[in-house]
């Protein structure tokens, strides 16, 4: 079967940056654009809106300089406006070669926002397209509010498309600006346009206000759409755009007649980078990229995974550069514990396994988070065994925090019987502690793992004197892992989690 190719345009750097509170720096934009094109293999990238700010101009220019040296100029797009050529000038100065011209795709927007007739609007659009063409800038046209245009002013949409047929336009971009389409309407409207204008290249730009963006993408492809606009982690205005990871999985798994160029195994890496740069946390239950989505929590699921993979579906974590994990907590069964022990290279007899499982369940009952790295401690404690022996201990420390002075730490650490003392300053007490610890390890010519996430919480619903829990995620060249510390003081619980890390590496 010859598969139909669907173009993917990523708009994380334009619509995604319209997520409230997000602003990417020029170097972050360049890094993301490079990863999207070179690692993820998206077809096109929309990187900014014209005229936004001086900073945005610098970012676009930096990306276009890189793109022109690497043959990507015609795959990088900028949203522009019908503004008598002001956007065109801005883009020319930045080296942009493709504009996505924002026009009005519904009569409602045209009459109430622009307060113009269709003829006046078309005349101004024609002038901008002609100017772009004279300056070797290629034009795609966005029909803003197109979905409502199809619902309420279809004749205007057809009149507009007939007009665009006379212009030098490469693609027509169909936004569901307010995220109001249902899947069946998406199918109906796109199928109607594809049968009336079979030669036009149409892109669909979904929004997720009703959580229907991925379903709408699925229907758009079934109806014959030529291209899709997606964003990493579903970032975008209001509830966001169609999330790249879900859309890719849905297309690959449910639409064998089409093909896309995206590399599934790079999705998670790009997703995490965008999470870091944007500061917008990926929800733990976000399909494909969320922390929890490849974690079996119920004992019965872990047990079924051992029996002909009864609880697997086609969304295998390895496809996306991820791994299945088994949670430890109140609902864990023996199978969850065993799976984690296997990872640690440990094995227990049936009776000991039962005791350890019971303890994990008790901890879960107290709302405590149990990580794989806690298991050796739990085993030592429950079985009174010497399975786990601390080779590194933080023997004492003094932490200072005083108004007007930098926090500092003096620490004394024993590493396999050898004693070290160091002090350092930091941005906070824990940072000072880590700086002192790094000095100790530098003396031993060793590197500590990188701290990549740090979360402190008290059990939900407890008072301010409750135990704090620090969960720290560490990363070495080979792996990333979490350690946990419990104490009534939030710095001390982080130090306890750090001591566990020192005994794992």
Ligand X SMILES: CC(C)C(=O)C(=O)O
With respect to ligand X, which residue has the nearer C-beta, 177 or 429? 177
Question: Who's near 212: CB < 8 A, 6+ residues apart?
Answer: 179, 181, 182, 183, 206
**What is the closest distance, in whole angstroms, from the C-beta atom of residue 229 to ligand X in the complex?**
8
Residues in 32-71 that interact with ligand X by CB under 6 A: none
Number of other residues whose CB lies within 10 A of the CB of residue 168: 12
Yes or no: say if 234 and 18 are a contact pair by the CB < 8 Å rule: no
Q: What x/- string results for residues 247 through 286 when contact with ligand X is judged by CB under 6 A? A: ----------------------------------------
Rounded distance between C-alpha atoms, residue 150 and residue 109, angstroms = 13
Rounded distance between C-alpha atoms, residue 77 and residue 132, angstroms = 13
Yes or no: say if 73 and 82 are a contact pair by the CB < 8 Å rule: no
**What is the closest distance, in whole angstroms, from the C-beta atom of residue 250 to ligand X in the complex?**
20
CA atoms within 13 A on the CB side of 354: 2
With respect to ligand X, which residue has the nearer C-beta, 32 or 50? 50
**What is the closest distance, in whole angstroms, from the C-beta atom of residue 204 to ligand X in the complex?**
11
DSSP 249-273: HHHHHH-TTEE----GGGHHHHHHH
**What is the closest distance, in whole angstroms, from the C-beta atom of residue 236 to ligand X in the complex?**
8
* Closest C-alpha to 200, from 231, 167, 229: 167
Taking each helix axis from N to C end, the angle separating 429-443 and 490-504, rounded to the nearest 10 degrees, works out to 20
Residues that contact ligand X, how many (by CB under 6 A): 8
Q: From edge to edge, which strands make up the β-sheet containing 408-415? A: 392-400, 408-415, 418-425
Residues in 77-116 that interact with ligand X by CB under 6 A: 102
Yes or no: say if 351 and 336 are a contact pair by the CB < 8 Å rule: no
**What is the closest distance, in whole angstroms, from the C-beta atom of residue 17 to ligand X in the complex?**
11
Place of tokens 């300056």: 135
List the structure tokens of 425: 């300053």
With respect to ligand X, which residue has the nearer C-beta, 83 or 291? 83
With respect to ligand X, which residue has the nearer C-beta, 179 or 376? 179
Beta bridge partners of 475: 450, 480
Yes or no: say if 180 and 147 are a contact pair by the CB < 8 Å rule: yes
Q: Could you say whether residue 15 binds ligand X (CB under 6 A)?
A: yes
**What is the closest distance, in whole angstroms, from the C-beta atom of residue 47 to ligand X in the complex?**
14
List the structure tokens of 132: 């772009």
With respect to ligand X, which residue has the nearer C-beta, 173 or 335? 173
By the 10 Å C-beta count (0-12 exposed, 13-18 middle, 19+ buried), 233 is classed as buried
Residues in 451-470 that interact with ligand X by CB under 6 A: none
Residue of 175, 234, 240, 364 interacting with ligand X (CB under 6 A): 175
Place of tokens 């109806």: 223
With respect to ligand X, which residue has the nearer C-beta, 151 or 319? 151
**What is the closest distance, in whole angstroms, from the C-beta atom of residue 237 to ligand X in the complex?**
6
Q: What x/- string results for residues 203 through 232 when contact with ligand X is judged by CB under 6 A? A: --x-x-------------------------
With respect to ligand X, which residue has the nearer C-beta, 29 or 205? 205
Rounded distance between C-alpha atoms, residue 298 and residue 329, angstroms = 9
The pair phi, psi for residue 195, each rounded to 5°, is -80, -30
**What is the closest distance, in whole angstroms, from the C-beta atom of residue 73 to ligand X in the complex?**
22
With respect to ligand X, which residue has the nearer C-beta, 52 or 382? 52
DSSP 89-125: HHHHHHT--EEEEEEE-SHHHIIIII---HHHHHHHH
Residue of 19, 177, 340, 491 interacting with ligand X (CB under 6 A): 177
Catalytic site residues?
Answer: 14, 144
Residue of 10, 46, 77, 144 interacting with ligand X (CB under 6 A): 144
Binding residues for ligand X, rule: CB under 6 A, are: 15, 102, 142, 144, 175, 177, 205, 207
């Amino acid at each position: 079967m010859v598969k139909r190719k669907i173009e993917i345009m990523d708009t994380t750097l334009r619509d995604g940056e319209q997520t409230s509170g997000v602003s990417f720096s020029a170097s972050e934009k360049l890094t993301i654009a490079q990863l999207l094109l070179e690692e993820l293999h998206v077809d096109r990238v929309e990187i900014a809106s014209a005229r936004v700010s001086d900073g945005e101009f610098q970012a676009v220019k930096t990306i276009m300089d890189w793109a022109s040296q690497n043959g990507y100029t015609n795959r990088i797009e900028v949203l522009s406006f019908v503004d008598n050529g002001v956007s065109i000038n801005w883009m020319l100065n930045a080296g942009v070669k493709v504009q996505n011209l924002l026009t009005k795709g519904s009569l409602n927007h045209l009459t109430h926002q622009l307060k113009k007739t269709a003829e006046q609007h078309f005349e101004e659009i024609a002038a901008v397209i002609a100017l772009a063409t004279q300056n070797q800038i290629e034009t795609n046209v966005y029909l803003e509010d197109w979905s409502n245009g199809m619902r309420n002013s279809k004749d205007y949409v057809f009149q507009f498309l007939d007009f665009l047929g006379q212009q030098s336009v490469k693609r027509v971009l169909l936004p569901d600006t307010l995220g109001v389409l249902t899947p069946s309407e998406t199918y109906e409207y796109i199928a109607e346009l594809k049968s009336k204008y079979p030669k036009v290249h149409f892109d669909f730009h979904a929004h997720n206000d009703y959580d229907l963006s991925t379903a709408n993408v699925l229907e758009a492809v079934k109806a014959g759409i030529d291209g899709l606009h997606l964003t990493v982690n579903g970032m975008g205005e209001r509830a966001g755009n169609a999330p790249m990871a879900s859309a890719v999985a849905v297309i690959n798994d449910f639409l064998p007649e089409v093909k896309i160029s995206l590399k599934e195994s790079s999705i998670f890496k790009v997703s995490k980078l965008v999470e870091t740069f944007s500061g917008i946390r990926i929800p733990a239950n976000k399909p494909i990229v969320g922390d929890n989505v490849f974690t079996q929590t119920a004992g019965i699921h872990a047990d079924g995974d051992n029996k002909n993979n009864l609880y697997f579906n086609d969304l295998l974590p390895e496809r996306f550069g991820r791994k299945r994990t088994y949670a430890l907590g109140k609902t864990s069964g023996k199978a969850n514990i065993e799976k984690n022990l296997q990872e640690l290279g440990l094995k227990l007899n049936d009776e000991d396994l039962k005791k350890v499982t019971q303890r994990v369940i008790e901890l879960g009952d107290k709302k405590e988070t149990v990580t794989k790295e806690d298991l050796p401690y739990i085993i030592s404690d429950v079985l009174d065994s010497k399975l786990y022996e601390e080779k590194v201990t933080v023997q004492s420390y003094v932490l200072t925090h005083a108004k007007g002075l930098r926090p500092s730490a003096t620490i004394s650490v024993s590493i396999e019987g050898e004693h070290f003392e160091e002090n350092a300053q930091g941005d906070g007490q824990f940072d000072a502690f880590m700086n002192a610890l790094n000095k100790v390890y530098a003396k031993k010519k060793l590197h500590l793992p990188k701290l990549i996430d740090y979360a402190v919480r008290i059990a939900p619903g407890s008072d301010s004197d409750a135990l704090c829990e620090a969960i720290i995620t560490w990363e070495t060249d080979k792996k990333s892992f979490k350690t946990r510390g419990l104490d009534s003081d939030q710095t001390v619980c982080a130090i306890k989690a750090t001591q566990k890390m020192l005994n794992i590496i």
